[in-house]
Amino acid sequence: MGRAAWSVLLAVGIGLAAPATAHAQASPKDKAAAEALFLEAKKMMEADQYQDACPKLEESHKQDPAAGTLMYLAHCYEKTKRPARAWATWRAAESMARAAGKAEREKTSREKAEALESTLSSLRINVPADAKLPGLEIKRDGEVVAPASWGEAAPIDQGDHEISVTAPGRKPWKASFKIGAARSKETVEIPVLETEGAAAAPASTADKKPSEPPTAAQDASPASFWTQQKIGFVVGAAGLVGLGAGAYFGLRASSKEKDSNSHCMAENQNWCDETGLALNKQAQDAEKVAIGAFVAGGVLTAAGIVLVLTAPSGQPTSAPKVGLAPRVAPGFGGWVLSGNW
């Protein structure tokens, strides 16, 4: 790759703002602050504290741009294993030295940059035409990548990196990648950002339909073990119990009636003593209960048969709402079946 392509990315690709030759003169206060930072950074570098020295050199260069500061900063980047930043900084120092007429510094900076160039890894960010949306912004590791550098291979240091892309009215997009070996060449393709709200979203309150009562199919749930067929067996069994109760009270009525005969006149059963009247009353009550039990038992048995025969084969349904309760009233006794199915 030619020097022009690298130079386009000198500031935006590396995040180092190389000053222009016509940079405004620093104020005396800024010069003093820059000098103090520079001297402190030099002491740190002499003590092999490069990680702490680099930020101080960066700030010193911002306060009072100078080729000498950049040369120290480039060396600091090399010591902290950031060859891409070191290369860009050597190139910036070369440019400043040339503008200032300092040939020796220019030569040293150029040679240092050329020595690093063959070892650099690179990243190319491709932006297809349909992905170039209005207001599109691309950042690499939090630093904006200028549109002029899209599609150009930029030097990049080894390690983990992240590309983030945003545009007005579009969903953000991110991609993480890692530069492992030296001289790696990576490419990131920027996709067309999705429109915000394009994906299916939960219905808003206005879109929700009024709640409707659940249908029979909706009533069924895995937690319920009831099926129509099981209900049919239960109801049918209750019917058989009712028939059995009817038979019992029928026999009891017959027995009480026979017992009362010995306490009544043979020619007139309406003439009975007190015991006969009581036994006769018990016989009548038992007869009524027997009739009610027979009727209820018959209804329940028939209902059970219908439920069993009409149950969906092997499919759980909602449990029919059926109620079975005994009922005794003056002149009536038996079981009452209620509900819906």
With beta carbons less than 8 A apart as the criterion, state whether 316 and 228 touch.
Answer: no
Say what the pLDDT of residue 24 is.
54
Distance of CA 194 to the CA centre of its chain: 19
pLDDT at 204: 40
Read off the pLDDT band of 208 (50, 70, 90): very low
pLDDT band at residue 31 under the 50/70/90 scheme: very high
pLDDT band at 284 (very low <50, low <70, confident <90, very high): confident
Backbone angles phi, psi at 199, to 5 degrees: -75, 155
Model pLDDT, residue 13: 37
Q: Are 248 and 330 in contact (CB under 8 A)?
A: no
What share of the chain in percent tops pLDDT 90?
Answer: 44
Task: Say if residue 165's pLDDT is above 80.
Answer: yes
Name the more confident of 323 and 208: 323
Instruction: Tell me what the mean pLDDT of segment 250-259 comes to.
Output: 75
Q: How confident is the model at residue 338 (pLDDT cuts 50, 70, 90)?
A: low
- Convert the pLDDT of each residue in 123-158 to its tens digit: 999 999 999 999 999 999 999 999 999 999 989 998
What pLDDT was estimated at residue 241? 83
Considering the chain, what is the average pLDDT of its residues?
Answer: 77
The predicted structure's pLDDT at residue 339: 52
DSSP character for 144? E
CA nearest to 153, candidates 313, 7, 333: 7
What per-residue confidence (pLDDT) applies to 200?
45
> Would you say the pTM of this structure is higher than 0.85?
no
Among candidate residues 339, 322, 316, 321, the one with its CA nearest the CA of residue 229:
316
Residue 123: what pLDDT? 94
Residue 301 to residues 15, 228, 311, 320, 323: CA-CA distances in angstroms? Answer: 88, 15, 16, 16, 14
DSSP per-residue letters across 207-236: TPPPP----HHHH--TT----HHHHHHHHH
pLDDT, one tens digit per residue, over 5-14 is 444 444 433 4
Residue 288 CB neighbours (<10 A): 19
Q: List, for residues 97-130, the tens digit of each pLDDT value.
A: 999 999 999 999 999 999 998 899 999 999 999 9
pLDDT at residue number 242: 72
Helices (H), 64-171: 67-79, 83-100, 103-117
What local confidence, expressed as pLDDT, does residue 50 receive? Answer: 97
> Which of the residue ranges 188-192, 229-233, 237-241, 247-251 would you say has the lowest mean pLDDT?
229-233
- 274-283 pLDDT, tens digit each: 676 676 678 7
- List pLDDT tens digits, range 292-332: 877 887 787 787 787 767 766 554 444 445 455 555 444 44
Whether residue 175 has pLDDT greater than 60: yes
